[in-house]
Structure 1
């Protein structure tokens, strides 16, 4: 099995960062491991055990620990099951699945079975949104309702649209000057200065230690997605270089029967949700 990390030392550093960031969520948590036909999968259970269960998928080349820092606003209300996407940095098996087809959806469907649910609410961002979109196609009955934030798998932009950020990334790889990490990230933030220490750490870790996955989950088939009847909430960034709102929202309305959409005005792929937007997400998930 080929490692997803560049070196053994790189894997060690990645998992050390994972554990440090996990502690920063400031809430009790437990590790869960389940066996799927694709490989062993790790989840973090945290949040409010009296709340409704919520399965959370993180972004690509990132970790569920970092994603939980972004999703802290959900911890008071929901019983969170945050999964390490198989083949990505974290504690699941290093078995990479194809971004095309529906393998990620089949894997996610098995995860739901293994953690003991017939159906569950789901939340996915970026790459994780694409995994969730595949799940919605493969096992629509297992997703009670869902939130997809700047998701892949709905209407991805052409790869050339993200080519500009490769220039500062290449400069960072050559020079190791961390200023170029910020410049790379700024392309994804639409120029907003929102790169905090944890974001910088996860980006540096990804560039230094992980064999970066460029391919995102491919666009889902309309006929498959039309079978998903549960409520879905799609949020897309106006200036997202990977999954722009004008493409994502238009197609989401075409292929998801029961969808609510929201444009993150003025923002790119990496962004900060306002308190009002966070409450919108919480309210949507708590609707009967």
Structure 2
């Protein structure tokens, strides 16, 4: 596997220490400890976090995060508890994102991310699993379903970034570029309030929101992001035969839900359901009802 781009923290040792402290803050807030798992892959070190990994007779769920996030966002406010059933959960930190994994990434338009995801499952001793991906993570899930469909029971795409191109509306560009061009807690909060959440229907507790804000300021200011961004997979999606569930928020301005739903229905032959949540922003992985819906589907399928 050829590494096409490499992203990196500006001060690797200091920034890794900050990230680990952030994880400790989340653990304290959630009153739980995540199992830290480091594996070697074709992209270098890949970090994963385990929850309930010692459960017997439980289904396995592998989660891939969105761009400029950590997979641990899924558990802000103990969000993983909303699955409503016992699951072995592996939160994978995709290489090339601001996390503890190495920064090397393959060509995003190749099949390599699918090969990497399959390697991650192998190294975690997972034969077959349910797979969920938010935004960028949805693209990873689809690549895995194309390259190694035998490894996936079903895929859950949450406001995925692979069904259409990133929206170029002035509103979307403004809110996404604001914290990048003028990084501050205030501007990060403006971005979150207008693109990620849709208050009051979709929001976090004050403590969890502060954790998210702190992470975003850190990720933008401390990480040199050279990773390619998600793209419209278009006809590649015709190769997906895995049962697929699409979850979308009506307030997602990054990837408007109507266009994504139309693309999924036209190109994913085994699309099982499209679930739309009113007044939910792009950060749908932090929305309790979306997680509960995913858990209910897994319970129905097991």
One fold, TM greater than 0.5?
Answer: yes
CA positional deviation for 1:167:
5.4
Structure 1 residue runs without a partner (length 5+): none
Deviations 1:115-172 (A, max 9, x none): 2233211111111112112212222221111211111112233445531114532564
SS of the aligned residue for 2:113 comes to helix
Which of the pair has the greater relative contact order for Cα pairs under 8 Å at 6+ separation? 2
Deviations 1:228-285 (A, max 9, x none): 333211112223122111111111111212221111223321355354x433211111
Is 1:92 aligned to 2:101, yes or no?
yes
Residue 181 of structure 1 corresponds to which residue in structure 2? 188
- Structure 1 residues 252, 78: CA separation in 2 closer, same or farther (over 3 Å shift)? same
Alpha-carbon RMSD across the aligned residues, in angstroms, is: 2.6
Does the Cα contact within 8 Å between 1:53 and 1:120 map onto a contact in 2?
yes
Residue 173 of structure 2 corresponds to which residue in structure 1? 163
- Structure 1 residues 10, 103: CA separation in 2 closer, same or farther (over 3 Å shift)? same
The count of aligned residue pairs is: 283
Does the Cα contact within 8 Å between 2:131 and 2:154 map onto a contact in 1?
yes
- Structure 1 residues 20, 262: CA separation in 2 closer, same or farther (over 3 Å shift)? same
Does the Cα contact within 8 Å between 1:42 and 1:92 map onto a contact in 2?
yes
Does the Cα contact within 8 Å between 2:167 and 2:255 map onto a contact in 1?
no
Deviations 1:168-197 (A, max 9, x none): 325643xx4x22221122221365363622
Residue 251 of structure 1 corresponds to which residue in structure 2? 263
TM-score under structure 2 normalisation?
0.82
Residue 65 of structure 1 corresponds to which residue in structure 2? 72
Structure 2 residue runs without a partner (length 5+): none
Does the Cα contact within 8 Å between 1:150 and 1:237 map onto a contact in 2?
yes
- Structure 1 residue aligned with 2:10, among 6, 13, 19? 6
CA positional deviation for 1:55:
0.7
SS of the aligned residue for 1:82 comes to strand
Counterpart Cα distance in 2 of 1:45 and 1:75: 17
Counterpart Cα distance in 1 of 2:243 and 2:84: 21
Does the Cα contact within 8 Å between 2:7 and 2:223 map onto a contact in 1?
no
Aligned pairs for 1:32-51 (under 5 A) are 32-47=37-52, 49-50=55-56, 51=58
- Structure 2 residue aligned with 1:273, among 278, 287, 290? 287
Aligned pairs for 1:46-195 (under 5 A) are 46-47=51-52, 49-50=55-56, 51-69=58-76, 70-74=79-83, 76-160=85-169, 162-166=172-176, 168-169=178-179, 172-173=182-183, 176=184, 178-189=185-196, 192=199, 194=203
